[in-house]
Structure 1
């Protein structure tokens, strides 16, 4: 798709005529057969204003009156995509992306969004690169009415101001509690209704939902370890009898929190390891009855997915798994942005960085595993990640534009799905380079946003 990009210039108040007038490059005026002083509607997000058009000899420029730019949060010099709809005589600039973030640290002007501030700066840089605009908004600032929302944008420093409702809502809220707040859901409904806003990564996925959905696709069943929502201790005993190792995973957990590994000993007893920040605490039980009694209360307090344990390839005796970041690209197709290997830290059995895991390239991890089963592993992982992303799209209600897909390769060379994350941590997926360049994952978000907003 060929796009028209223009540089926004702000017309100072003293140079404006009585009627709001925009100045547009003469070549674009001719392309769209606009006559001098013709009237049309200028639109940016949900905002619109009747204006007259005057040709401008300078190429690639749209000059907008200061009075309009100030209301819309437009900044002098930014590039934006532009298209004209002759059927409605409307000129659209954008796309305008609203990113929902969890909180703002008012006392920290340099890092107002905490650990994701650098990601927010990258989003702003990527928008300038591809001709889009972005602002960041918290749950405390949104509601289900009105044509504007107060958000933050970067203009040499972080500034808070009013913006129109966006074309795109990118949900980066970091808890289910925040995204389920009544005012957040009202804002989303309002933006969709009033401005046909496109929302993506709209909700967290839970582990039961993912495995139940993917089982419906016969071609994906090969990647699925046996996995069930844990209802009672009888089910726990059955899985522990069937497999030497099982995992209990909180269905709404993330970053490896709360995962329990249960291993059956040769003498019929069990060793339970509980993931925590310092490593793993351990309890031993003499038989399945003692194990069941210990878990009765825990199962009632917390909903777990119980999953077949796998014999994974390892590096230096530490298990390795793989995080694939799969995103919709500039033509709306699923594509692999990156796959990294994650090796568990010492005294840990989970590989999350938050639990002491370390990153490496897939090639390096496969080579260091010294496993003959690693042959062809990189291609197998890519195929599985793409297939699983398409399965999520077809089987789960909701719009997801990026997925963190955790995969494993066992000692027989078989690929398994561990879990799918609809809010992949930007830190977990950091490129192995130390460059300050815009990450490919951030570029893809903006490229897909242009596609989804039809710019």
Structure 2
């Protein structure tokens, strides 16, 4: 590795290697030579390959006053792992990226603190905008610039559940593993309740189980349960539809068949699977288990679900079958989304052992399991290295 220095007062990069040696950092930036150090500086060890240092990874985060919002724990782990492998990451918000580079924040693992820093355009942008609203407000300007300078952007955007269903449905091997899904209307809701007896209604653009409702018939009435453990009784489909229209327009929701799956201690459970791209394939990085609480609507931990282990479950996971399902899903979705680097899948299993894909998510939340957190960080940094033609084993 070679040391590259950042002048904290002058907000500029330099190196001290004499001669005609060129060092390039990020996109199109040649690091200038200095024969003496600046008064205050920070050193960064970079892996070098053909005069190219890095990679320099830009982590796109949501803005807030005087800083950023996002998965801070993940950002710190990425920087720690990248630094060990000869890379560096800068967390920036949409307004901090311009044609001249990015101004953001760099975590210094040795000091356990953040510094403000100005850097060249990154080799890669890792999109971790925190919310769908932030993507709608800010992503276009970042994407326009990344396209202009040919900077790959990982995790292009949150999935729209309806678009995702149509994309997955077009794959002949995946369609059999999808719960039937329709856009919400009086007709589709009534029809699906007649056929299946119970359905879920979900926001097309949501995460963490927010806005999820479970509906089933009770004679001539309809019972609705929410993630907050509230229960409502409606005398008609029309009244039921009105409940959702008070928050958003009808086309913002989907209706999904409620699959009858195997239970664990009388409660719903699903597999929460994390996958990452590698050499144009998608492999499983970690498998968690989430169990619903008494409300039985969702297994998401923020909504009251709990964590279990594979060993506790009443059925053994068919790992080859699930691995194939994950790989097919990732490869198929990559035909719709450029640089899809990772996703999570919520998978249920019936008593007959058939697996159903409930949801796929493009912006994985942190898993609670430490081993999965660590494996995820390693996979991501390896992917950053792979994308910038860097080797994965380094010597200092």
TM-score by length of 2: 0.86
Structure 2 match to 1:264:
217
How many residues get paired? 380
* Partners of 2:6 and 2:42 within 8 A in 1: no
Counterpart position of 2:393: none
Describe the superposition over 1:171-213 as per-residue Cα deviations: whole angstroms up to 9, x where unpaired: 000122222335x43333224423x211110111111111101
> CA offset at residue 150 of structure 1?
0.5
**Which residue does 1:304 correspond to in 2?**
253
List gaps (5 residues or longer) in structure 1: 1-5, 13-18, 24-36, 52-63, 85-90, 107-111, 368-373
Q: Which residue of 2 aligns with 1:125?
A: 80
Equivalent-residue separation in structure 1 for 2:165 and 2:6 (angstroms): 56
Say if 1:8 and 1:75, in contact at 8 Å, map to a contact too.
no
Tell me, yes or no, if the aligned pair for 2:92 and 2:105 is still in contact at 8 Å: yes
- Cα drift, residue 294 of structure 1: 5.4
Structure 2 portions without partners, runs of 5+: 8-13, 391-396
User: 3-state SS of the aligned residue for 2:153?
Assistant: strand
8 A contact 2:292–2:306 mirrored in 1: yes
Residue 265 (structure 2) pairs with residue 316 (structure 1): yes
Rate the CA distance shift 1:360–1:66 in 2: closer, same or farther, 3 A: farther
Cα contact 2:281–2:327 (8 A) shared by 1? no
| Higher alpha-carbon deviation: 295-304 or 196-205 | 295-304
Distance 1:236 1:97, change over 3 A: same
Structure 1 residue 341: deviation in Å?
Answer: 0.8
Cα 1:258–1:185, aligned 2, differ >3 Å: closer, same or farther? same
Corresponding position of 1:93: 53
Which of 105, 108, 115 matches 1:159? 115
- Cα deviation 1:125-167 (Å, max 9, x = unaligned): 1102222111101234234x3x221010023221002100100
Query: 1:201 — aligned with what?
Result: 155
Instruction: Name the residue aligned to 1:247.
Output: 200
Q: What is the CA distance between 1:295 and its match in structure 2? A: 5.6
* Partner secondary structure for residue 81 of structure 2: helix
Contact between 1:332 and 1:448, CA under 8 Å: does it hold in 2?
no
Instruction: Give the deviation of 1:413 after TM superposition.
Output: 1.4
Q: CA distance change for structure 1 residues 177 and 299 in 2, over 3 Å: closer, same or farther?
A: closer
- 1:202-242: CA deviations, max 9, x gaps? 11111111110111110111211111122x20121111111
Alpha-carbon separation, structure 1, partners of 2:41 and 2:76: 17
Match of 2:379 among 425, 428, 444: 444
**In 2, Cα distance between the equivalents of 1:243 and 1:44?**
57
Write out aligned runs for 1:365-444 (5 A): 366-367=313-314, 374-394=315-335, 396-426=336-366, 429-432=367-370, 439-444=374-379
2:226 is aligned with 1:274: yes
**Number of the residue aligned with 2:3:** 8
Shift of 1:346: 2.5
1:216–1:115: structure 2 CA closer, same or farther, 3 Å change rule? closer
Larger radius of gyration: 1
Q: Distance in 2 between matches of 1:274 and 1:302?
A: 20
CA RMSD of aligned residues (A): 2.9
Residues 346 and 293 (structure 1 numbering): CA distance in 2 closer, same or farther, change over 3 Å?
A: closer
Partners of 1:273 and 1:284 lie apart in 2 by 9
Q: In the TM superposition, what is the alpha-carbon distance from 1:281 to its structure 2 partner?
A: 1.2
Aligned partner of residue 440 in structure 1, secondary structure:
helix
> Cα offset for 1:168?
0.5
SS at match of 1:218: coil
In structure 2, how many angstroms separate the alpha carbons of the residues matched to 1:405 and 1:74? 44
CA drift at 1:47: 4.7
Secondary structure at the counterpart of residue 259 of structure 2 = coil
CA–CA distance in structure 1, aligned partners of residues 289 and 91 of structure 2: 31
Q: C-alpha distance in 2, partners of 1:417/1:20? A: 51
Hey, what does 1:172 align to over in structure 2?
Answer: 128
Q: 1:359 aligns with which of 307, 326, 330?
A: 307
How far off is 1:293 after superposition?
Answer: 6.2
Q: Cα distance 1:292–1:254, how it changes in 2: closer, same or farther (>3 A)?
A: closer
Structure 1 contact 11–66 (Cα < 8 Å) conserved: no
CA spacing shift, 1:168–1:310, aligned 2, 3 Å: same
**TM-score normalised over the length of structure 1:** 0.76
Asked whether the 8 Å contact 1:166–1:191 carries over to 2, the reply is no
Contact 1:139 1:178 in 2 (8 A): no
Deviations 1:51-76 (A, max 9, x none): 7xxxxxxxxxxxx6378x98xx9942
1:285 aligns with 2:234: yes
